[in-house]
Homo-oligomer: A and B are copies of this chain.
Amino acid sequence: MADRYANFANSGLGRTVVKRLGLPDPPRLRRYRPGDPVAAGPVLLGAAPGGRLAEPVAKLLENAGVRVAGTGAAGTKHAALIFDATGIADSPGLRALFDFFHPYARDLLPSGRVIVLGTPPGATAGPKEATAQRSLEGLTRSIGKEFGRGVTSQLVYVEPGGEESVESTLRFLLSGRSAYVSGQVIRIGAGAAPAPADWEKPLAGKLALVTGAARGIGASIAAVLARDGAEVIALDVPGAGDALADVANRAKGRALQLDLTAGDAPSRLAGYLAAGPHGGVDIVVHNAGITRDRTIFKMDESRWDSVIGVNLTAPERVNDVLLDQGLIKPGGRIVGVASIAGIAGNRGQTNYATSKAGVIGLVQSTAPLLTGRNITINAVAPGFIETAMTAKMPIGLREAGRRLNSMSQGGLPVDVAETIAWLASPGSATISGNVVRVCGQSLLGA
């Protein structure tokens, strides 16, 4: 499962060989370890005149122990460049981006962070401002492809009224938790998001259900949610047996064997949760998913039905039952797992891509219905992640998938898990209907 080439290229001898031969040079990504500071060094914070986010962001960073530098300190090595672009009201005003990034771009540390804060185009005063704010996406996506060395680049749209709810997102993006998230557009809504009592244990007191938890990405989700303080129910099909028990034990949680495609499974799950000490559940992660690849010429109906059934219909049915019975508690979080294939389509995966595009539809269509209940629903969309599944791919496809992204390497299951943990956090209360790719800014897209 490991990316042996990346390990080699980051070894002493490997570095020399890679450099001499001009081979791809995947940087070693900075990943989060408990106790890490919020940022890996001083952060440069800039703003276009009239912005509404620089001030609250400066305050929250300082409270979080981050050293915030103003512009003018060229030569300092920065862990992040954060730019408040909400003051940009028209296209000539975009010049402020050049003025900020041109002089300081070279001073970013490896695995540095670029974060541009904007206003969602739909929430602006008119088309001039909407156009300029929409332009930001071209900049952040280009920077993600330009900077290399493990630097990530994101655009964070904050609705007016959401200024005090950006902390969970900034902490996630600044940290090594977001090592493999780049080139994304994140939308934070208006309203207040409660800060957790302890940012190291933001999920303390929460009960989390993770489906497909016996292996790979699901096992990592269970582990990360537990690390962040949640009590975890690790669910998988009967037969996952020992592997599932191991995951549950390591997470100090419970194992639950259930085939969610069975007719009565959602209501059995509901009964289990209702009878538990929490009387419901706080976090539901629909991670269970299967592939049954064939071109549509060669596909049979069982491959179609099983993939749609497991990946899309089962999460829909589980949501329905749990929401109808009020078992997802206020402050609840639902997180789906889509895929780049669901965004871009993929040869040999009409069934899988259809199901994963559906997960995006599920999230986007359900989010507005849950706002009043204080429940969010979002999805992550993994790109090439190093798992037993990707290890079995033909070598050409595998190496292309690994290298054709801004990190020049595949991601790890923990990268997906960290992204889910951020969305599950109490501080992410105003983030709903988002689809966040965990793909190292893969070239593939739509």
Contact = CB atoms under 8 A, between A and B. Distances in A.
Contact of A134 (B296, B308, B357): B357
A143 interface: yes
A102 interface: yes
Contact of A138 (B91, B146, B305, B357): B357
Contact of A296 (B95, B105, B357, B358): B105
A91 B312 contact: yes
Contacts of A360: 134
Interface string A410-446: 0000000000000000000000000000000001111
Given A132-B361, A142-B353, 18 more contacts: A91-B308, A94-B308, A95-B301, A98-B304, A101-B296, A102-B299, A105-B297, A131-B362, A136-B357, A138-B350, A138-B352, A138-B356, A138-B358, A141-B344, A141-B345, A145-B346, A146-B350, A443-B444
B142 A297 contact: no
Contact of A316 (B131, B139, B304): B131
Could you say how many copies of this chain the assembly holds?
2
Nearest to A124: B365
10 contacts: A92-B309, A94-B308, A97-B354, A98-B299, A131-B361, A134-B361, A135-B312, A142-B341, A142-B346, A145-B346
A366 interface: yes
Interface string A268-310: 0000000000000000000000000001110101001100110
Nearest to A360: B134
Contacts of A445: 343-344, 443-446
A98 B301 contact: yes
A127 interface: yes
Given A143-B296, A446-B446, A313 B136 contact: no
A144 interface: yes
Contact of A130 (B98, B146, B365): B365
A353 B121 contact: no
Complex A-B, nearest 4 residue pairs according to Cβ-Cβ distance, in ascending order: A134-B361, A445-B445, A141-B345, A138-B357
A369 interface: yes
Interface string A378-413: 000000000000000000000000000000000000
A164 interface: no
A145 B98 CA distance: 37
A42 to B, nearest CB: 20
A106 interface: yes
A147 to B, nearest CB: 9
A173 to B, nearest CB: 17
Interface in A86-100: 90-92, 94-95, 97-99
Interface residues of A, number: 76
A305 B98 CA distance: 9
Nearest to A443: B444
B136 A354 contact: yes
Given A301-B98, A350-B139, A446-B445, A358 B312 contact: no
B443 A138 contact: no
Contacts of A357: 134-139, 141
A212 interface: no
Contacts of A183: 345, 446
A377 to B, nearest CB: 10
Contacts of A99: 301
A347 interface: yes
Contacts of A150: none
A47 B94 CA distance: 48
A37 interface: no
A128 interface: yes
Contacts of A308: 91-92, 94-95
A214 to B, nearest CB: 24
A95 B443 contact: no
Nearest to A143: B350
A342 interface: yes
A355 interface: yes
Contact of A135 (B95, B124, B309, B361): B361
Most buried by B among A131, A313, A352: A131
